[in-house]
Amino acid sequence: MNKVLMQGNNVIAEAAIRAGCRFYAGYPITPQNELCEYMAEHIRKVEGGVFIQSESEIAAINMVAGASAAGVRAMTSSSSPGISLKQEGISSMAACELPGVIVNIMRGGPGLGNIRPSQGDYFQATRGGGHGDYRVIVLAPATCQELADLTMDAFDLADNYRTPAMILADGMMGQMMEPVVFKEPKRRQYPERYMLKGAGEGKSRFIKGLILDQSDMEEHNWKLDRKYQVIMKNETRFEVYRAEDAELMIVAYGTAARIAKGAVKRLGDSNLKVGLFRPITLWPYPSSELREFSRKIKNFIVFEMSTGQMLEDVRLALQGFADIDFYGRPGGVVPTPAELANVIIHRYKKSSKKKELC
């Protein structure tokens, strides 16, 4: 497969179609419109492909739930305010154990916020997002190539664990263009027995999330939790960069991690020893992998395009074994690698001074 130059939003749509997505429903919202538009043009060209521009985000996610139950790979996409609307349906899909992929191309918030790239939806994405005791698998790509790869993986993960999976990117990822190579998708392995296609001559089945008996509901919660424990054990992903002799480590994901990588590169010629830890799965969070680094490294800087949300997961992961500093640019501001590099230099010196004082 040749390299193609494509915009992030289009990459997600193309990767989804290649991964066998045959149902897309969505509602226009900036900065993810190109995804919706690409689907409108291309998914119907494929046998069995369905595109619906829904009346709302709420309708879109419920159409996806219906299509998923009917047995196809289904996806919806939106940006922050629209994802809030989808939460009812995502919670319902988690309860009913329906696979499906949700794409969030985050923008500034809260409220209508703005249409600039932001990372303010981390809490919403990684804590389930809707009501009830559940989690959503969250993948955070940092390049267009990863948008392609992780979108395909999201469908596999959603199927394997029969649960919704989310691509959490931001307006920067959605709007940028980069060369991409689409890998060969895996064959879908999703048992017919989970699909609702009419009972035929056999026994009828139903899919439901309403469990009125509290002990049955408790058991359902534990059943979901056992599944989440398996996901936590098997599916964490992360990348480390220049961590070998690092004395200070930046923790960042998505666009922020790209900026951080640029900053770390810039500092490569200096005598500062800075590394980068980039979680690729935000839930499950690569906590123990991050904690491992605190054996050697005692200073961490969390960098996010928010006022500090992943920061809490880093604190939970490091359990007080290292100092954690935070640098955030919320509201749609995208700092340059040079700006971040300056912040790193400043804090690095502060931490070395502290060390000398000890």
Partner 1 sequence: MKKVFGRPHSLKTSVFHYCPGCGHSIAHRITCEVIDELNIRGITIGVPPAGCAVLAYFYFDVDMIEAPHGRGPAMATGIKRVLPDRVVFSYQGDGDLTAIGIAESFHAANRGENITVIFINNAVYGMTGGQLAPTTMLGQKTTTSPLGRNASLDGYPVKLSELLVPLPGTTYIERCAVNSPANILKAKKAIKKAFQCQMEGNGFSLVEILSPCPTNWKMSAVDSCKWIDEVMTKVFPLGVIKDTPAAGKKTGKTEKEENAG
The answer to whether 81 contacts partner 1 (rule: CB under 8 A) is no
Q: How far is the CB of 208 from partner 1 (least distance, A)?
A: 4
Distances in whole angstroms, Cα of residue 223 to Cα of each of 94, 96, 127, 133: 12, 12, 18, 11
Separation between Cα atoms, residue 68 and residue 307, nearest integer Å? 36
φ, ψ of residue 337 to 5 degrees: the values are: -60, -35
Please, what is the end-to-end C-alpha distance for the chain in angstroms? 57
Contact 134, 162 (CB under 8 A): no
Q: In 3-state terms, what secondary structure has residue 297?
A: coil
Q: Decide whether 217 or 272 has the Cβ nearer to partner 1.
A: 217
Q: Decide whether 201 or 269 has the Cβ nearer to partner 1.
A: 201
Q: Decide whether 71 or 330 has the Cβ nearer to partner 1.
A: 71
The answer to whether 88 contacts partner 1 (rule: CB under 8 A) is yes
Q: Which of 44, 346, 349, 355 binds partner 1 (CB under 8 A)?
A: 44
Q: Decide whether 113 or 128 has the Cβ nearer to partner 1.
A: 128
* Piece in contact with partner 1 (CB under 8 A), picked from 56-64, 113-121, 179-187, 253-261: 56-64
Separation between Cα atoms, residue 59 and residue 55, nearest integer Å? 6
The answer to whether 205 contacts partner 1 (rule: CB under 8 A) is yes
Q: Which of 4, 51, 243, 334 binds partner 1 (CB under 8 A)?
A: 51
φ, ψ of residue 197 to 5 degrees: the values are: -125, 15
Contact 195, 70 (CB under 8 A): yes
Q: Decide whether 41 or 292 has the Cβ nearer to partner 1.
A: 41
Q: In 3-state terms, what secondary structure has residue 232?
A: helix
Q: Decide whether 19 or 302 has the Cβ nearer to partner 1.
A: 19
Q: In 3-state terms, what secondary structure has residue 229?
A: helix
The answer to whether 210 contacts partner 1 (rule: CB under 8 A) is yes
Q: How far is the CB of 79 from partner 1 (least distance, A)?
A: 20
Contacts to partner 1 by CB under 8 A: 22-23, 25, 44-52, 54-56, 58-60, 62-72, 74, 88-89, 92, 96, 196-202, 204-210
